Structures are given as structure tokens and as C-alpha cells.
Amino acid sequence: MKKIAIIGLGYVGLPLAVEFGKLRPVLGFDINAKRIAELDSGHDHTLECAPEQLKEAVQLTYSSQLEDLKSCQIFIVTVPTPVDMANRPDMTPLIKASQTVGQVLKKGDIVIYESTVYPGATEEVCVPVIEKVSGLKFNTDFYCGYSPERIVPGDKVNVLTTIRKITSGSTPEVADEVDGLYNSIVKAGTWRASSIKVAEAAKVIENSQRDLNIAFVNELSVIFERIGIDTLEVLEAAGSKWNFLPFRPGMVGGHCIGVDPYYLTHKAEELGYHPQVILAGRRINDNMARYAARNLIKRMLQNGINVAESTIGVMGITFKENCPDIRNSKVADLVKELQQWGATVVVADPWAEAEEVKQEYGIELGIIDAAHRVDSLVVAVGHHEYRDMQLAHLRCLCRSDKPVLADIKSLYNRHGAAAAGFTVFRF
């Protein structure tokens, strides 16, 4: 049985390594020695895999040493694919991972990519790197596959084994082998794409479609706010029709939805086509943090609160609820916007790691409680700790006479919040 190497042990790579490690020899590889030590101790700070799950992967070992990769025959690359400050694809992690694989690749080996990319990236960017470093020839000496990740951080229902997996290979025979490989762990089965490019395109449009749907309801929320009606009430009324899609407005962050569309538009522009709908959706969603901040400030001023001398509490910094993932969090953009108005901003989050938040965004996590009260509140993330919080308790966290509550995730009854003494804003 061929030994598998998983390159990159983050939110995507670790669950994959664990599932394969229950059935066959697997090497989990990561250049972060601290991460390897953490996993060797039986702990996963991302909370994607519980200690008992790590123990079940009896054939899984971990390493940060290049030499250890030489014992493997299948390499699965699960590194991040971010964008730079100009929203252009940053292929650096993918290129470095390909260089790493190229140094240990042998004849007959297979390299499978799971990282989200634009159609053509595997064969146009990654393969040439592997060929150059290894000295081997593509589809003669080594082969490739593409099977896009569909991990949902923090979701304990829709997990790796219960989400149907797209597979593909650089030759029909390799496509069969890749498909069989994933079928051995994915209970929901697989969907074999006709080519690597088709598989790449399928992944990138999944999140682009969701991005556009969220952009639509975000734009509706801007319109309805001006009309003076509540967006959630409108969406719930429209949702009484069986085929109305239940999307909700919000700040779109994370490593997928807020990033992947830029990979598709990058490729389109390379080919001479300037996408209009996709980029329009991105502009709307990227602006929602500023929109939320300015609506909060406007209501504070209307309530007679001196913004420059105020303290605003922001509850939640992770990009989604009930997980510690802070990648591309739009809450950080909201904080910066509030600070530009001169307000002191205190950010609290029971899920985020303080050191990681400080390193990534320069924000020091603080405390918001009855002993550390604020003038207004932003509940930015729907952690269960916040969902379960009573409005009376929220009100006790505020010291001003007329605090504003920006309920970004619409967690609370707006009439109840008003009765508790809040001026309420929500998307």
C-alpha cells in the first residue's frame, strides 16, 4: 500500500491526514515545527480534530523534516492560497510546497493538490516547478491529481467524510487511482471530473456563487435600511416561498468565500475578459465592515455620545462562529474603521488565540464585562456564548445612557433589545 504525505497540517490537511491515517501509512508534514510538536502531544489548536480523533489515526506520524518525505509515494498538498494587498492571487505557498515535493519525488509518484486555485493553475504553475526541481517529466515520470477541499471550519456535521469529494487526474489511470483513494475515506462518495481544470473551476465557482448571493442580500440590507424596514423580517417573509434561497447579510471573511472569487477573476483578466458581476459582488461585501462601523457611529452621535471619548466593545474577531479561525476576518476592518473615528475599541473573543490575533492584526484582546463597561457594543460573531447571552446582561455591559447595539449577525430580538435600552442597528 502506497504511503501518503499530507503537505500542510492546517484546517484542511489535518482532518485529511487523520482519516487516511486510520487506514494506511500517512506522514503529516508541516514546516512549522511548533505545529508538529503540538500534534505529537495529541492537541490541535484549530479544534478541527479532537484528541480522541488524533488517537484513532494509528498509522499517522508527523514531521517537519524533508528527509522523511522520501518514504512516500503519494503527496497531497493542502497549503493556503491567499491574495495579496491588491487582491491578486499569492501562489507563494503553493510554489514552495511544489518545490518541497520536487526535492523528494520519485518515478511513478503522484502529486494531488487540494488548495483552491484558478482553472489551469495545477498544470501551468505547479507542474513546471515540480519538473524543474525534480528533473522528472510530467505524465511520464510522475502524475498529478486535483481534488478540491470542501472543509467548513468549525462545522461538526458537514465534515470531510460526509461531503461529496470532487476528484480528477492527469491521465485516466491516475484519475481512477485518485478517485479510489478518496472513496476509501469519504462516505458521501466522489464526483470524478473529466479533467483537472474542470475540478479546479468547480471549486472556485462554489464560493464565488455563495459570495454573490451574500452580496445580493447585503445590498438589499443597505436599501432596506434607507427605506426604514428590517432586512431579516423581509427575508423571512420572502422565505415563505419554497424556492427562495435562505442567504443572510453579513461581513464575508475567511479563507474561502472572501478570497476565491479573486482567483477566478484573475484568470479571466489574464484571458482578456474583465468580470463585472463577480467583482461587483466583491466590492459590496468588502465594504460591509465600513458600512457597519459608520452606521454605529451615526447612531452614537444621534444619541449624544462623544465618539472620540467613547469606548466601543466588539464581541468576536474570528471570521465565523464557534471556531478559532481568524484568517481574513472582516471584524478587523471594522475595528480599524472605528478607531479612525477616535474611539477606543476593546475586542473580546472566547475562541480566538490572543497571540495569533496580535500577530495577524495588531489587536490585543481585552475584556468586556460589568467591571470593564463600554459605551456601545458590536456583536460581530455568532459564538454560542453570545447567542445565549440575555439582553439584560448585554445592557449591563454598557455604561452610557443610550448605548447602541450593532447586532451584526442578528442574534437578538430587535424589539427586545430596544426595550432593554439599546438603539439597535443590524444588517
To which H or E segment does residue 315 belong?
Answer: strand 311-315
Three cell numbers written together for 352: 480566538
The secondary structure of 90-109, three-state, reads CCHHHHHHHHHHHHHCCCCC
**Nearest Cα to 118, choosing from 219, 265, 11?**
265
- Alpha carbons 8 and 80: distance in angstroms, whole number: 8
27 φ/ψ angles, rounded to the nearest 5 degrees:
-110, 120
**77 within 8 A of 41, measured Cβ to Cβ:** no
- Alpha carbons 181 and 199: distance in angstroms, whole number: 16
Three cell numbers written together for 370: 460589568
- Alpha carbons 99 and 95: distance in angstroms, whole number: 6
- Rounded (10°) angle between helices 196-227 and 231-238: 120
- Rounded (10°) angle between helices 331-340 and 288-302: 40
The amino acid present at 142, given as its one-letter code, is F
Of the residues 49, 72, 126, 256, only one is catalytic, namely: 256
In the chain, count H helices and then E strands.
17, 13
Three cell numbers written together for 230: 428590517
- Alpha carbons 319 and 322: distance in angstroms, whole number: 10
Q: Furthest-apart CA pair in the chain: how many Å? A: 74
Active-site residue, 126 included: no
Strand order in the sheet with 376-379: 344-348, 311-315, 376-379, 404-407, 423-425
Contacts of 43 (CB under 8 A, 6+ apart): 51
**158 within 8 A of 152, measured Cβ to Cβ:** yes
**313 within 8 A of 397, measured Cβ to Cβ:** yes
**Nearest Cα to 97, choosing from 191, 205, 201, 12?**
12
- Alpha carbons 251 and 215: distance in angstroms, whole number: 9
Instruction: Tell me the catalytic residues.
Output: 256
